[in-house]
Amino acid sequence: MKVLVVGSGGREHAIGWTLARSSQVEKLLFAPGNGGTAALGTNVDVEATDLDAIVTLAKEEEVGLVMVGPEDPLVAGLVDRLTEVGIPAFGPTAVTAQLEGSKSFAKAFMENHGIPTGAAASFTVVDAALAYLDELAKTSASVPVIKADGLAAGKGVLMPETFDEAAQAIRDILIDRRFGAACDSVLIEERLVGAEASVLAFCDGTSLAVMPVAQDHKRLGDGDAGPNTGGMGAFIPSPVITPELLADVEARVLQPVLKGMAAQGTPYVGVLYAGIMVTADGPRVLEFNCRFGDPETQVVLPLLESDLVDIAFGCIDGRLGELTPQWSSDAAATVVLASGGYPDSYPKGHPITGLVEAAEAGGTVFHAGTAVGSAEGEPPVTNGGRVLAVTATAPTLEAAVDAAYRAADHAHFDGAVRRNDIGRDVANGKGADSDGKGTPT
């Protein structure tokens, strides 16, 4: 069958690379894809958020399956639109994708269903929000986290150090609308402390299958210095979530989402991603995402031994319970190479070299912000903030991390920046993560 992958990041290249290993896939289309996906199939010049054009493309090409990577088209209802015209699409519907699309929706849902998360209050009126903050300041020394309600490309979470900064963050969101349409309301949330991990599960509306738990590195610099990014690397296994904790997260977080969504007549189908912080009081949900993570996908999918097409249809048809996705027991690490200047402004168009050598050194190179070269035989060029994710798998985390760096050393473009400590502290047995937060008590 023909499969259409919607999106253009490292996540979508990894999804396409995994689909290319399926004997059921004859042709891959990417909308719009990147310089790496062009080598796996055909890139079509259609934006992931142009729902009309994607539906038209899927109909014209008679695709048998659409895999939707990013959150924006999911929240906008792409899966609903494709389903209406009879095209199987993997991902949640617009209503269920609200778990990511609206933080106040997600918080209310968690409160209604007893899912452990930080205490929070949601406001649309600035004076009410500031009054609530004043009350908090009287009773608590801990400055809350301030979140814009809607989708803000990963930038909508502000972590002020003082109550004055928190008040400013509230004004930035509700008055200045710093994150545009994401700013209709603000969430003021209790600040939690602990180590973080990403728990992702395939869901078919009633049953689920968890993936190996990954940890990503959100900050730009080594030792978690510098600004937050979309993620500078990731690794598996994560020591943060022990098998006992994972069972707890399944029972108290993931299952209640499925039950709650099914009970309101909107079953959750697709990937459910719970950002978990393991606090002294147990696991707490920081956020839900309604899709695969980026760069988590680049470490998770190389470990998948089952056919992703079977799993996707198992989810869409409500038969996931009959399948048991098989995973390699190997470790995996991925190192992101980003453009100089990311996450702020950065140049584009720099030639990227050394990718054949990186692959020969044992790495799988997933393209993110790249475009095909201007002429036949020309190397791909940089076209975004995060440019490449170089992944390696091995029996131990230490070997996977070493292999990922050995491969990444070959990849070059002007101004490239990367972290040199992805997975290192855990591989060296130094702690739960590189955030210096240590293993939670």
Residues in contact with ligand GLY by the rule CB under 6 A: 154, 216, 231, 289, 293-294, 296
Residue 214 C-alpha from the chain's centroid: 11
Strand partners of residue 158: 146
* 3-class secondary structure, 27: strand
Site for ligand AMP (CB under 6 A): which residue of 71, 189, 204, 294? 189
Site for ligand AMP (CB under 6 A): which residue of 15, 74, 136, 192? 192
Chain positions 320 to 379 lying near ligand AMP, rule: CB under 6 A, are none
Binding partner at 192 among ligand GLY, ligand AMP, none, C-beta below 5 to 8 Å by kind: ligand AMP
* 3-class secondary structure, 406: helix
Q: From the CB of 69, what's the least distance to ligand AMP, in Å?
A: 17
DSSP string, 347-363: ----B-B-HHHHHHTT-
Residue of 196, 204, 197 lying closest to 325 (CA atoms): 204
Spatial separation of the C-alpha atoms in residues 320 and 308, rounded to whole Å: 12
Spatial separation of the C-alpha atoms in residues 40 and 9, rounded to whole Å: 14
Helices 255-263/103-112 angle, 10° precision: 90
Taking the least distance from each CB to ligand AMP, the nearer of 286 and 332 is 286
Under the binding rule (CB under 6 A), the answer on residue 118 touching ligand AMP is yes
Chain positions 154 to 183 lying near ligand AMP, rule: CB under 6 A, are 157
Spatial separation of the C-alpha atoms in residues 398 and 333, rounded to whole Å: 9
Binding mask 203-232 for ligand AMP (x = CB under 6 A): ---------------x--------------
Q: From the CB of 231, what's the least distance to ligand GLY, in Å?
A: 4
Residue of 72, 91, 109, 92 lying closest to 285 (CA atoms): 109
What one-character DSSP code corresponds to residue 339? -
Spatial separation of the C-alpha atoms in residues 296 and 282, rounded to whole Å: 23
Question: How many Cβ atoms from other residues are within 10 Å of residue 352's Cβ?
Answer: 25
Part of the chain binding ligand AMP (CB under 6 A), chosen from 122-130, 190-198, 263-271, 347-355:
190-198
Taking the least distance from each CB to ligand AMP, the nearer of 14 and 285 is 285
Under the binding rule (CB under 6 A), the answer on residue 433 touching ligand AMP is no
Binding partner at 289 among ligand GLY, ligand AMP, none, C-beta below 5 to 8 Å by kind: ligand GLY
Residue of 193, 195, 171, 174 lying closest to 184 (CA atoms): 174
Taking the least distance from each CB to ligand AMP, the nearer of 36 and 230 is 230
Q: From the CB of 409, what's the least distance to ligand AMP, in Å?
A: 29
Taking the least distance from each CB to ligand GLY, the nearer of 97 and 166 is 97
Closest residue to ligand AMP using C-beta atoms: 287
Q: From the CB of 113, what's the least distance to ligand GLY, in Å?
A: 22
Taking the least distance from each CB to ligand GLY, the nearer of 155 and 406 is 155
Q: From the CB of 276, what's the least distance to ligand GLY, in Å?
A: 12
Q: From the CB of 10, what's the least distance to ligand GLY, in Å?
A: 10
Dihedrals phi, psi of 142, to nearest 5 degrees:
-85, 125
Taking the least distance from each CB to ligand AMP, the nearer of 216 and 402 is 216
Spatial separation of the C-alpha atoms in residues 173 and 125, rounded to whole Å: 11
Contacts of 156 (CB under 8 A, 6+ apart): 103, 147, 148, 149, 150, 173, 179, 182
Contacts with ligand AMP: how many residues (CB under 6 A)?
12
Identify whether the C-beta of residue 437 lies closer than 8 Å to the C-beta of residue 425. Answer: no
Chain positions 91 to 110 lying near ligand AMP, rule: CB under 6 A, are none
Report the phi/psi class of residue 324: left, alpha or beta, with left for phi > 0 and alpha for psi in -120 to 50.
Answer: beta
Under the binding rule (CB under 6 A), the answer on residue 145 touching ligand AMP is yes
Under the binding rule (CB under 6 A), the answer on residue 307 touching ligand AMP is no
Identify whether the C-beta of residue 25 lies closer than 8 Å to the C-beta of residue 309. Answer: yes
Binding partner at 294 among ligand GLY, ligand AMP, none, C-beta below 5 to 8 Å by kind: ligand GLY
**Interacting residue ranges for ligand AMP, rule: CB under 6 A:** 118, 145, 157, 189-192, 196, 218, 275, 286-287
